[in-house]
């Protein structure tokens, strides 16, 4: 019976994997077709010839290198700051005992249910008052404080035995030293999982960068991809080429932290005290 269930699971997982892989294959094949053949036979994966002219056209269509640098810089900065702030808040909610802790955590967590469209206008007005419009600060600072990140790391911290911290206190470690030298090193899988989620969300973000940026100096790659959709048509071959290039950093980031991601997700689902 277990063997049959295992076979069924493998088959289902394989089918789901194929469903997700097909669009990627089609994207790459379209990017390598001549522009004139993209809409002639949409079911064909191979054109009359393989060409890289679409990649050259995509690279030169807008300041591609600048947009990619902005996306990488904003993604890494947002990820680093989000992981750090979320870890501090999560540790406070998981280990520190103060009046109303659980109520405050519930209120903080309830912000996940507020649609981003509700906060866009007041947040934009605050940025205008601060003079942050069209700057890296506008792209990095607002997403840094993540209720999801706090919840995820809190669940992970709860799986760490409190006896370890008690032993450290006996040895004379302060609360800050325990957090930096014990909790964070033991939480690498959870931190890596949050880092991947944060980087991917920042990398694919379109709506917020579209609102707070107006010059090419600060625009990110998703905004550049939108440039291939014109009023009278879309340059599909160049768009597919640009998209193929844009997914490379995310894939590399995922490959680096892949093992930690699996371990982190499995551990954050465990119960705590």
Calculate mean pLDDT across residues 46-70.
Answer: 85
Q: What is the DSSP string of 180-221?
A: IIIIHHHTHHHHHHHHHHHHHHHHH--HHHHHH--STTT--H
DSSP state of 154: H
Min mean pLDDT across 64-68, 124-128, 211-215, 268-272 is at 268-272
What pLDDT shows up at residue 273? 39
Model confidence band, residue 271 (pLDDT cutoffs 50, 70, 90)? very low
pLDDT average, residue stretch 87-108: 88
Note the helical H segments in 62-115: 64-95, 101-110
| pLDDT over threshold 80, residue 39 | no
At 140 the pLDDT is: 93
pLDDT digits over 167-203, tens only? 888 888 888 888 888 888 888 888 888 888 899 899 9
On the question of pLDDT at 272 being above 50, the answer is no
Predicted local distance difference test score (pLDDT) of residue 137: 93
Segment 81-106 shows an average pLDDT of 89
Q: What is the mean pLDDT of the chain?
A: 84
Other Cβ atoms less than 10 A from the Cβ of 74: the count is 23
Burial class for 86, CB neighbours closer than 10 Å (0-12, 13-18, 19+): buried
pLDDT at 136 over 90: yes
pTM: 0.82
The pLDDT score that the predictor gives to residue 263 is 64
The CA R_g of the chain, rounded to the nearest whole Å, is: 23
Average confidence (pLDDT) over 55-83: 90
Determine the Cα–Cα distance for residues 47 and 94; give it in Å rounded to an integer.
57
Q: Please state the CATH superfamily assignment of the domain spanning residues 72-218+247-268 in this structure.
A: MetI-like (1.10.3720.10)
The fraction of the chain above a pLDDT of 70, given in percent, is 91
Q: Which of 212, 198, 211 is nearest to 152 (CA)?
A: 198
């Amino acid at each position: 019976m277990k063997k049959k269930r295992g076979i069924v699971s493998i088959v289902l997982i394989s089918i789901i994997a194929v469903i997700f892989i097909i669009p990627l294959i089609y994207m790459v094949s379209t990017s390598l077709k001549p522009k004139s053949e993209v809409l002639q036979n949409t079911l064909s994966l191979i054109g009359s010839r393989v060409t890289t002219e679409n990649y050259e056209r995509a690279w030169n269509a807008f300041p591609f290198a600048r947009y990619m640098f902005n996306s990488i810089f904003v993604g890494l900065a947002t990820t680093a700051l989000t992981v750090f702030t979320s870890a501090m808040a999560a540790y406070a909610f998981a280990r520190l005992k103060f009046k109303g802790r659980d109520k405050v955590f519930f209120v903080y967590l309830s912000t996940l249910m507020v649609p981003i469209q509700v906060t866009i206008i007041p947040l934009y007005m605050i940025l205008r008052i601060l003079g942050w419009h069209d700057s890296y600060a506008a792209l990095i600072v607002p997403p840094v404080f993540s209720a999801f990140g706090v919840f995820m790391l809190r669940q992970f911290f709860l799986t760490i035995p409190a006896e370890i911290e008690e032993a450290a206190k006996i040895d004379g470690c302060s609360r800050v030293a325990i957090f930096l030298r014990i909790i964070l090193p033991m939480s690498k899988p959870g931190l890596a999982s949050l880092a991947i989620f944060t980087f991917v969300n920042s990398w694919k973000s379109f709506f917020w960068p579209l609102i707070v940026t107006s010059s090419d100096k600060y625009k990110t790659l998703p905004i550049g991809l939108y440039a291939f959709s014109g009023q009278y048509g879309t340059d599909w071959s160049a768009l597919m080429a640009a998209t193929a290039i844009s997914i490379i950093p995310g894939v590399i980031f995922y490959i680096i932290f892949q093992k930690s991601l699996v371990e982190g997700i499995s551990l954050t689902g465990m119960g705590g005290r």
